[in-house]
Amino acid sequence: MQNGEMLQDKKISIKIKGIRDGLLISLGEGDWPIVQEELLKQIEERSAFFQGARVALDVENHILHAAEMGMLRDKLSDSGVILWAVISNSPTTERTSQMLGLATRISKPKPERVIRSQSASTSLSGDNAMLVKRTLRSGFKISSAGHVIVIGDVNPGAEISAGGNVVVWGRLLGSVHAGVDGGKDAVVCALEMMPKQLRIDDVIGGLPLKPDKKKHVLPEFAMIQGGEILFQEWNQRERGK
Amino acid sequence: MTATIITITSGKGGVGKTTTTANLALALAELGDKVVCIDGDIGLRNLDVVMGLENRIVYDLVDVIEGRCRLRQAMIRDKRMNELYLIPAAQTRDKSSVTPSDMVRLCDQLRDEFDWVLIDSPAGIERGFRNSIAPADVVLVVTNPEISAVRDADRIIGLVEAEEKGPAKLVINRLNLDLVKRGDMLTADDVVELLAIELVGIVPEDASVVVSTNRGQPVVMEAYTKAGQAFRNVALRLKGQEVPFLDLEEKKGFFQNLSNMLRSGGN
């Protein structure tokens, strides 16, 4: 892992390291335009070395929006560098990389980062919850070790994977896996429940109550009961259980 | 003059991107606007064939970008219209010959001289797609009322949003009225409900599209075709006019209402 090449700049810290999946470039503090320029300069100076490289970028605390990250990806691609992952401590940046279809983790994340990201997000009794306020279109994937809340529709072809519960304030038409690591108690709720596939822990769900969407208006939730996934209308549920 | 740059894309292949591009270009030119089309499908060009300009290609997009000719030299003028040009794609190269920033630069050169720059994107979500949407002001997503095409359109709309080029606009192509009536095809409403973006056109399935494509005479050139009228309406809507959807939509609306009534009656 450590046998790659190390480079370090005096003013702005740019560390380049060989990893199993290509190169890991860590960018230090500083104004983003300057840091980006410095990175591109270094790549240009050593274009033979970087040609065709698969690069994961660790931007640490930089907050990047889609325009900036997209532009950087295009510029890198212009110089023959393939960007496949952007790792960051900032949830905004992580969301941006997910939106652009980039990975947010490399095979072995730094252990300290995992702990930090847990303490940084919304927590209830120690769990992570991720709030996504947008429509998840086909190809989008949300993964979280904690709970996932979506305000918006989850379209066919979109995927949610959560260690805890999943709440969709909208139409659930995509695939959901709740309680990923042994969370048998996890539930999935949606205003309109028509998932392509629903899994809780290792149980793959059957069909929701009413597959005819024109009639289907009541919110539903799904849970494991007797080894199978049971769909129930929300208003029939014993409240406060 | 500042051109609006429209990229026509779909994700899935064969839904009618090229047909839509050619017809919109002619319809806008017919309205008196200055239009240039760029074929973004490098390596698999066919916009020139659909527009009937294949035999006049000397230089192409890659020649311009690599500096082998001036921009003007690669622009083929469509003699049927006053101000309609095509920049064809290279047949012998591939998508990596062009970068997104090349496309942005090229379109910036065209901006001052035209009202519209239409870019025909290739299918897929790779380099060719990214090249095509990089300069876009408006992204037009073409889809068919089929589950696979709609799924891909949804993915494309998500990618366009992620690139902060959204919200995209939607054209539903090849709607087959008979199949819709029988309940065997998604309705335009079904598609719009899922994709949740602005609808700017519904083009019916029409045999005259195939005939005219084979002749290199886009269907808008023929006055009395439904598809041609539908494309002319898309052009007007892009120009900001409010145009009601064609008659076929009303008929469909009636059947839709009827079936809704029956369904709700049984509830």
- pLDDT tens-digit map of A165-182: 999 999 999 999 999 988
Interfacial B residues in 99-158 facing A (CB < 8 Å): 99-101, 127, 130, 134, 147, 151-152, 154-155, 157-158
Q: Is the pLDDT of residue A107 over 80?
A: no
The closest CB to that of B154, out of A66, A74, A157, belongs to A157
Angle between helices B247-265 and B188-195 (to 10 degrees): 80
- A101 vs B152: CB contact, 8 Å cut-off? no
Which pLDDT score, from 0 to 100, does residue A127 have? 62
Residues above pLDDT 70, as percent of chain B: 92
- Tell me the pLDDT tens digit for each residue of B131-158: 999 999 999 999 999 999 999 999 999 9
- B194 vs A155: CB contact, 8 Å cut-off? yes
Q: Is the pLDDT of residue A118 over 80?
A: no
- B155 vs A138: CB contact, 8 Å cut-off? yes
The closest CB to that of A137, out of B127, B155, B263, belongs to B155
Nearest C-alpha of chain A: how many angstroms from B99?
Answer: 6
Cβ contacts below 8 Å, chain A against chain B, sum to 59
Q: Kindly state whether B43 is in contact with chain A, defined as any CB-CB distance less than 8 angstroms.
A: no
Q: Is the pLDDT of residue B20 over 90?
A: yes
Q: CA-nearest residue of chain A to B147?
A: A156
DSSP-H helix ranges across B43-184: 47-51, 61-65, 71-74, 100-111, 127-133, 147-162, 177-181
What is the rounded distance in angstroms from the CA atom of residue B84 to the CA atom of residue B35?
5
First to last CA, chain B: 57
- Tell me the pLDDT tens digit for each residue of A7-57: 444 467 888 888 877 888 888 888 888 888 888 888 888 888 888 888 888
Q: Is the pTM above the cut of 0.80?
A: no
The closest CB to that of A77, out of B99, B157, B267, belongs to B99
Q: Is the peptide bond before B135 cis (omega within 30 degrees of 0)?
A: no
Which pLDDT score, from 0 to 100, does residue B88 have? 96
Task: Label residue A157 left, alpha or beta by phi (over 0 means left) and psi (-120 to 50 means alpha).
Answer: left
Q: Is the pLDDT of residue A125 over 60?
A: no
Answer for the pair A57, A25: CB distance below 8 angstroms, yes or no.
Answer: yes
- A214 vs B158: CB contact, 8 Å cut-off? no
- Tell me the pLDDT tens digit for each residue of A144-173: 888 999 999 999 999 999 999 999 999 999
Task: pLDDT band for A240, please (50, 70, 90 cuts).
Answer: very low
ipTM of the complex: 0.73
- B101 vs A78: CB contact, 8 Å cut-off? yes
- Residue A139 CB partners (closer than 8 Å, separation 6+): A101, A157, A158, B154, B155, B158, B159
Task: pLDDT band for A121, please (50, 70, 90 cuts).
Answer: very low
Q: Is the pLDDT of residue A211 over 60?
A: no
